[in-house]
Amino acid sequence: MKRKKQQKGFTLLEILAVAAIVALMAVFVVPNVFKKLGKAKANIARASMGILERGIEDFRYDCGRLPTQDEGLNALLEAPADLEEKWSGPYCKRSQLEDPWGNPFEYVAEGMINLGNYDLICFGADGVEGGEGDNVDIYND
């Protein structure tokens, strides 16, 4: 007596069921992952601002003043002409002058948010003032 060979493989119904499960996972999981990625970049921006604040405070301690608006954050990398003897930098790395989206942090010597002090601003993912979500502006405290 001869036996029929049993074929191994998946039926069309089994393949469609797996495809449906994968599609449902993509619909519900992927948006949450991207939402967390945006929050992570905002947290990295805040941490980077903390590093810059430390550099600015070290600059102030060594030089007796804050960087001027014209000098900006570049004063943390290169000594201003009038402070070459007091300056003990660099106070940060060049790469730390950019936010996680690759945009430069904005330095405002006469702070509008931190009155009587300076402001550091990250304009979010879009790199322009204003916005919501990933594009929200982040200021130093």
Q: For the stretch 19-32, what's the b/e string if a residue is b when 16 or more beta carbons lie within 10 angstroms of its beta carbon?
A: eeeeeeeeeeeeee
Strand, coil or helix: 98: strand
List domains and CATH numbers for the chain.
Answer: 32-139 (3.30.700.10)
pLDDT tens string for the chain (141 positions)? Answer: 566 666 677 788 888 888 888 888 777 776 666 666 667 888 888 899 999 999 999 999 999 999 999 998 999 999 998 888 989 889 999 989 999 889 999 998 887 777 778 888 888 888 778 777 777 888 887
Q: What is the pTM of this model?
A: 0.68
